Structure 1
Amino acid sequence: MFIYEVDENIVLKQLKLQDANELFELTDYARDYLREWLPWVDTTIKPEDTLAFIDHTLRSAELKTGFTTGIFFKKKLVGLIGFNHLDWTNKIGYIGYWLSPDYQGHGIMTNAVRALTDYAFAKLELNRVDIRAAYENKKSRSIPERLGFTEEGKIRHAEWLYDHYVDHVIYGMLAGEWYRF
């Protein structure tokens, strides 16, 4: 099982099926906030939906096509981060993340993204880390910007979000750039 200690307060841990209820409760608590930017919220309506999601992430990890971890702050689950997709042919990892609004503004996500980027380059030996965020999602975009990722462009109408399209901004970091940063 993947466990990565970011600092004395933050640990990234691979989710287990036993985490389903806690993750569902967190999702349900933050539902209105998460719905603004994440397309899956309306289809996560009962703990079994979260259980199926965790099962999917475990299979992705086994196949090495991606992996998802819980972000634990002082041993409490406060969000998720992981590689939504790992492209081994091109050595690219696509990071996705979300954090409960109660825990934002304390550097938790910045430190988690920094740690996962370190892991991508040092342990997975990837060449590139890619982060995509909705153009209007300034909080999410501030993370790669703060960490020195390069804003590489904008994809128009990249995602259907309930009743409208949103544009995505692409951020990239190359291994050689990260080690100089």
Structure 2
Amino acid sequence: MNEWSVRENVKVKLVSPDDAASLYDQIEKTRPQLAKFMPWGDAMHSVEDEKDFLEYCQGRMKDKKLWITSILVDGKPVGMIDLHNIDLDNSHAEVGYWLGGEYQGNGVMTDCLKRVLAIGFEEMKLHKIKLLAEKVNEASNAVAQKAGFVLEGQLKDEIYSDGKFHDANLYGLVK
């Protein structure tokens, strides 16, 4: 399966280089916020960069170390959510996500995260999924908590973004 329904007008689908233009448009519109919390926020400079990244992701998916989807709202790619650092021997992975600013604040990411968790636990047979959120990223921490994640600890100077190191909250969810 390449596409999963989240709610009436929201789906997640495995990434494709065809998503590059729409995703890059959302990166451009949301760049200040993305750069604040995502190390790659300033590194994506063109549709071609995004296309190259999506092609790289497809290769990593073949290696079963990454499972990555575009978030579609009304059929348009507007963000991404993934399972990365997949360790099938130990049945765990980490989840990451971003969403274009105009689509934030109405539960889209929380619903997408819940759907991806179900895929990870039911289809991929994972036992545990971890989530790392900068301590000051209130929106990302709220999404984690709404999806049922449990705060397991805080990591000092764990994430480098916006030109400096930041503390991160480490969340976990066990099947």
TM-score class normalised by the smaller sequence: over 0.9
Mapping 1:128-167, distance limit 5 Å: 128-167=128-167
- Taking structure 2 as the reference length, the TM-score comes to 0.96
1:54 paired with 2:54, answer yes
SS at match of 2:37: coil
1:94 paired with 2:106, answer no
Q: Which moved more, 1:77-86 or 1:109-118?
A: 77-86
**What displacement does 1:162 show?**
3.9
**Unmatched 5+ stretches in structure 1:** 176-181
Mapping 1:60-99, distance limit 5 Å: 60-99=60-99
Q: Which residue of 2 aligns with 1:178?
A: none
- Give the partner amino acid of 1:71: I
**What displacement does 1:126 show?**
0.4
CA distance in 2 between partners of 1:46 and 1:107 (Å): 29
Poorly superposed stretches of 4+, deviation over 2 Å:
none
- Give the partner amino acid of 1:36: K
Whether the 8 Å contact between 2:22 and 2:76 is mirrored in structure 1 is no
**What displacement does 1:4 show?**
0.9
**Deviations along 1:30-55, whole A, 9 cap, x unmatched?**
11121110111221111221111101
**Deviations along 1:109-145, whole A, 9 cap, x unmatched?**
0100000001111110000011110000010010111
CA distance in 2 between partners of 1:57 and 1:68 (Å): 7
SS at match of 2:148: coil
CA distance in 2 between partners of 1:3 and 1:22 (Å): 17
**What displacement does 1:18 show?**
1.6
Whether the 8 Å contact between 2:68 and 2:80 is mirrored in structure 1 is yes
Size of the aligned set, in residue pairs, is 175
Q: Which residue of 2 aligns with 1:179?
A: none
CA distance in 2 between partners of 1:172 and 1:41 (Å): 25
**What displacement does 1:12 show?**
0.2
- Give the partner amino acid of 1:45: H
What value does the CA root-mean-square deviation take over the aligned residues?
A: 1.1
Identical pairs, percent: 27
- Taking structure 1 as the reference length, the TM-score comes to 0.93
CA distance in 2 between partners of 1:12 and 1:123 (Å): 15
- Give the partner amino acid of 1:87: D
